[in-house]
Amino acid sequence: RYFIDWKNDGDSYFTIDATEGTIATNDLLDRESTAQYNFSIIASKVSNSLLTSKVNVIINVLDVNEFPPEISVPYETSVCENAKPGQVIQTVTAADKDLSPAGQRFSFRLSSEASNKPNFTVHDYRNNTAGIEARRNGYSRRQQELYFLPVVIEDSSYPIQSSTNTMTIRVCRCDADGTILSCNVEAIFLPVGLSTGALIAILLCIVILLAIVVLYVALRRQKKKDTLMTSKEDIRDNVIHYDDEGGGEEDTQAFDIGALRNPKVVEDNKTRRDIKPDTLCLPRQRLPVEDKTDIRDFINQRLQENDVDPTAPPYDSLATYAYEGNGSVAESLSSIDSLTTEADQDYDYLSEWGPRFKTLADMFGEEESYNPDKVT
């Protein structure tokens, strides 16, 4: 019987027939990752398993052309503005990841989309190198700074593999001998006499101008906003702005005093209370007060009458509600402007107010009927 002596993971790529001893692959092989495998095969006798022998097996993986050739290194290609047609500006080589056999050859050519452009061409030297040549008489950096040249590279193995590599060609300023002087941004402005300091000054002026424009626009917007806030036509209930001294509480022309009204009354009565009504309204006939009217009910009644009265003063004025006077059972109890004296007063009605006012009736009643000693 035959079997593999498993020692490492690489042995799992192969298997062996136990009877015939045929070795076969058990997985896909990649020469670029592992080019050689080394393992042992053990053979044992069927009649006696103790009789065995071991032999080492080495398997080399053959290469298959599966990778296309590419440009060996990234080139920084440049062309002078005073280049001539046919002038070689760069020599390129190729490389292949596959194990190139002896006599492997690479070919170079332009792609089909670039063959019609007369800017540059590719000259294959047939020794695995090629030259990039100019096809124009002079190049202008101010018209076009960069050129992109697609180059196709093919190998000679089977099956043939090819790839397209794009080369970047930069236009530079050179002297009469073809020596490159400068390829940076400054080279664009040197022919017109601008130095690096001049370029920095120009950019600084542009930045300052932009800052001035932005500041001017911001100030205009702020001024417009302030004008709207201080306009006489902009009457607001939350912000009142006075430019001069007003007339105090009587000055009701500066703002809408109607905002101070009771919201419930405003919904019911739309008449303005901050100005004098055009039409004269007759004074309202107030309902007579009953004898047993409670003071709270009386005040609420007077408040309701003033709320619905369009001739009443604004709500920031003072309205006085007095319970004494006309309609009171005791009439006026004030001694101010009284035309009578206490001697002329008749207090006999106090005896009609009940037991609680008996003492008071005795005090203000007839003098002969009042005895202080009897007061408890």
pLDDT tens digit sequence for 172-214: 988 888 788 888 755 455 545 556 778 888 999 999 999 999 9
Nearest-angstrom CA–CA distance, 53 and 46: 13
Nearest-angstrom CA–CA distance, 114 and 135: 13
Looking at the domain assignment, is residue 346 inside a domain? no
Looking at the domain assignment, is residue 234 inside a domain? no
Looking at residue 187, what is its pLDDT?
Answer: 47
Looking at residue 302, what is its pLDDT?
Answer: 81
Looking at the domain assignment, is residue 174 inside a domain? yes
* 229-248 residue pLDDT tens: 555 555 555 566 656 665 55
The yes-or-no verdict on residue 366 having pLDDT over 80 is no
State the chain's mean pLDDT as an integer.
77
Looking at the structure, tell me whether residues 52 and 86 fall in a common domain.
Answer: no
pLDDT band at 271 (very low <50, low <70, confident <90, very high): low
Looking at residue 304, what is its pLDDT?
Answer: 83
Looking at the domain assignment, is residue 232 inside a domain? no
Which of the listed residues 181, 206, 224 is the one where a domain comes to its end? 181
Looking at the domain assignment, is residue 267 inside a domain? no
**Residue 226: φ, ψ to 5°:** -65, -35
Looking at residue 136, what is its pLDDT?
Answer: 87
pTM over the 0.85 mark = no
For residue 69, count CB atoms less than 10 angstroms from its CB and return exposed for 0-12, middle for 13-18, buried for 19 or more: buried
List the domain range (segments joined by +) for residue 130.
70-181
The yes-or-no verdict on residue 15 having pLDDT over 50 is yes
Looking at the structure, tell me whether residues 81 and 177 fall in a common domain.
Answer: yes
Looking at the structure, tell me whether residues 118 and 140 fall in a common domain.
Answer: yes
Looking at the structure, tell me whether residues 49 and 80 fall in a common domain.
Answer: no
Looking at the structure, tell me whether residues 80 and 22 fall in a common domain.
Answer: no
Averaged over 269-283, what is the pLDDT?
53
Looking at the domain assignment, is residue 177 inside a domain? yes
Which of the listed residues 60, 85, 105 is the one where a domain comes to its end? 60
Looking at the structure, tell me whether residues 167 and 74 fall in a common domain.
Answer: yes
Looking at the domain assignment, is residue 31 inside a domain? yes
- Domain count along the chain: 2
* 52-85 residue pLDDT tens: 999 999 999 988 888 899 998 889 899 999 899 9
Evaluate whether 347 touches 365 at the Cβ level (below 8 Å): yes
Looking at the structure, tell me whether residues 133 and 160 fall in a common domain.
Answer: yes
Looking at the domain assignment, is residue 23 inside a domain? yes
Which of the listed residues 181, 211, 232 is the one where a domain comes to its end? 181
Looking at the structure, tell me whether residues 24 and 86 fall in a common domain.
Answer: no
**CATH number (domain holding residue 108):** 2.60.40.60
The yes-or-no verdict on residue 322 having pLDDT over 60 is no
The yes-or-no verdict on residue 12 having pLDDT over 60 is yes
pLDDT band at 368 (very low <50, low <70, confident <90, very high): very low
Nearest-angstrom CA–CA distance, 283 and 127: 123
Averaged over 290-301, what is the pLDDT?
76
Looking at the structure, tell me whether residues 40 and 112 fall in a common domain.
Answer: no
Looking at the structure, tell me whether residues 102 and 150 fall in a common domain.
Answer: yes
The yes-or-no verdict on residue 105 having pLDDT over 60 is yes
Least confident of 41-45, 92-96, 105-109, 295-299: 295-299
Looking at the structure, tell me whether residues 90 and 12 fall in a common domain.
Answer: no
The yes-or-no verdict on residue 286 having pLDDT over 50 is yes
For 269, what's the count of Cα atoms within 13 Å in the CB-facing half-sphere?
15
Looking at the structure, tell me whether residues 56 and 79 fall in a common domain.
Answer: no
Averaged over 20-48, what is the pLDDT?
89
The DSSP bridge pattern shows strands 162-174 and 180-182 to be antiparallel
Q: Which two tokens stand for residue 310?
A: 């369009």
Closest CA to 171 of 136, 131, 130: 136
Residues 245-254, buried b or exposed e (16+ Cβ, 10 A)?
Answer: eeeeeeebee
Looking at residue 43, what is its pLDDT?
Answer: 94
The yes-or-no verdict on residue 264 having pLDDT over 80 is no
Which one is predicted more confidently, 25 or 12?
25
